[in-house]
Amino acid sequence: MKRALLLVFVILSMAVAAYAGKIYGSVSEGGKPVAPGVKVEVTCGSKNYAAQTDAYGSFKLFVPDKGKCTLKVSYQGQAPSFEINSYEGSVQYDLILEKQGGQYTLRRK
């Protein structure tokens, strides 16, 4: 009985991930990828989803919410943000950090 319940739980948790929207992409500054470990956070309503960049400045995370969201990158003590859309399928956002007047901004590549 315990095995059957565990199997049902595993199958249901995989089904939730299958319907989630995958948001992935990269973050660069000055034509070079940012360092590994830069925090990338997506906020949809009151829910937050976080990831970190890898050695190539890439990130990926699953966001089950659909609609307008905000992507924020925590970089050198600042947190520039960018409005994105989350879909049932996957969506790619390659972003560029630009410093303007001492403040970082994000724009899509």
Domains in the chain (CATH in brackets) are: 21-108 (2.60.40.10)
* Nearby residues of 9 by Cβ (< 8 Å), 6 or more positions away: none
High-pLDDT (> 70) share of the chain, %? 82
Q: Give the per-residue pLDDT at 21.
A: 85
In this prediction the pTM is: 0.78
pLDDT digits (tens, 9 = 90+) for 9-37: 555 555 444 445 899 999 999 999 999 99
Mean pLDDT of the chain: 87
Q: Give the per-residue pLDDT at 6.
A: 56
Q: Tokens representing 62?
A: 């699953």
* First-to-last C-alpha distance (Å) of the chain: 52
